[in-house]
Amino acid sequence: MPHMDVKQYMQQLGRQALAAARLLARADTETKNRALHAIARALREQAPALLEANAADVEAARSGGADAAFIDRLTLTPKSIEAMAQGLEQVAALPDPIGVITDLQQRPSGIRVGRMRVPLGVIGIIYESRPNVTADAAALCLKSGNAAILRGGSESVRSNMAIAACVREGLREAGLPETAVQIVETPDRAAVGELLTMKEYVDIIVPRGGKSLIERIMNESRIPMIKHLDGVCHVYIDDKADIDKAIRIADNAKTQRYGTCNTMETLLVAEGIAPRVLPRLAEIYTAKGVELRGDEAARAIVPMKPATEEDWYTEYLAP
């Protein structure tokens, strides 16, 4: 971050993003895809540097007393870096949404009226300490012709800056402005407050994180938002489901990674097949250390703790 106060710094990011957005909106599909592939290559080539930066973030978070779920979300591995690179390539393979016309109708006057998809402009994305979101957000904004200002959690600032360097390399290689995707490099929380007021530069705010983060942004933002609030993920197993497949899905949904926002917290099973599903899943979950809590009907089938009303609304991000 240059030697300037937070307001000046954020205003500079805003001006640069607005100028880049005007150029990016006119970029053709081939150019955008070339940038995405170049970023993917840079991530693979710079994997050692990414892991080194991430290790410093993880060590600082551990020293600060972060819990296991937080550390899991923060940690990068060679596998997760490869997944980020593949994600960029998958976005490149998607159809370009810009310029697509839908709902085209001819009016009685002879005028043809429809809807055309166009870039929004500058998107401010605020998220917690998950470095992979930096690559995901950059890819989606770039493909849709939008400039981005990305503000990740302060605990992941080294990782995010290392990923952002790869993004800039890819943009530069494709002949696009490096300022099309910018990372807020200061850990100062005042930067978020400034971003939420920059309506002359930022067209939309996308918050991604826990309830407290979303509520803060809802209360402070002067800019339109695309948001969620509570993130309690459910899986429902219907009585017509393929039971073996459903059990594999329910196992994976809970135990693949406990600390991510798409981890299952609540399992709902149709009454007719519950006696065939719950004992098998209970055996799997118990072996993996997952604590089971259920209603009276579930406890009649499998021994488990009684669920409280609060359990149905809680995002545990843990076994």
| Separation between Cα atoms, residue 98 and residue 119, nearest integer Å | 7
| Separation between Cα atoms, residue 237 and residue 269, nearest integer Å | 5
* Res 9: pLDDT: 96
* Res 211: pLDDT: 76
Average pLDDT (251-273) is: 90
- pLDDT tens digit string along 105-158? 999 999 999 999 999 999 999 998 899 999 999 999 999 999 999 999 999 999
* Res 98: pLDDT: 95
pTM: 0.81
Percent of the chain whose pLDDT exceeds 70? 98
243 and 183 housed in the same domain: no
51 and 199 housed in the same domain: yes
139 and 28 housed in the same domain: yes
Indicate whether 260 pLDDT > 80.
no
Indicate whether 161 pLDDT > 70.
yes
| Spatial CA neighbour of 40 closest among 72, 102, 83 | 83
CB 88 within 8 A of CB 141: no
* Res 318: pLDDT: 80
75 and 211 housed in the same domain: yes
Domain boundary among 220, 247, 263: 220
- Give the number of domains in the chain: 2
- Asked if residue 133 is part of any domain, the answer here is yes
* Res 38: pLDDT: 98
- Asked if residue 150 is part of any domain, the answer here is yes
- Is residue 2 very low, low, confident or very high in pLDDT (cuts 50, 70, 90)? low
- Maximum Cα–Cα distance across the chain: 70
CB 67 within 8 A of CB 129: no
More confident residue, 313 or 149: 149
More confident residue, 3 or 289: 289
- Is residue 1 very low, low, confident or very high in pLDDT (cuts 50, 70, 90)? low
- Asked if residue 1 is part of any domain, the answer here is no
Average pLDDT (293-307) is: 95
* Res 3: pLDDT: 66
| Separation between Cα atoms, residue 302 and residue 311, nearest integer Å | 18
Indicate whether 261 pLDDT > 80.
no
Cα 307–chain centre separation: 30
Q: What is the mean pLDDT of the chain?
A: 94
CB atoms < 10 A from the CB of 155, how many?
22
- Asked if residue 227 is part of any domain, the answer here is no
- Asked if residue 294 is part of any domain, the answer here is yes
180 and 276 housed in the same domain: no
Indicate whether 293 pLDDT > 70.
yes
CB atoms < 10 A from the CB of 95, how many?
8
- pLDDT tens digit string along 207-237? 987 778 888 889 999 999 998 776 789 999 9
* Res 315: pLDDT: 82
Helix (H, G, I), strand (E, B) or coil at 175: coil
Percent of the chain whose pLDDT exceeds 90? 85
61 and 187 housed in the same domain: yes
275 and 201 housed in the same domain: no
What the block records as the tokens of 5 is: 């106060």
71 and 214 housed in the same domain: yes
| Structural domain harbouring 215 | 6-220
148 and 273 housed in the same domain: no
Average pLDDT (278-287) is: 95
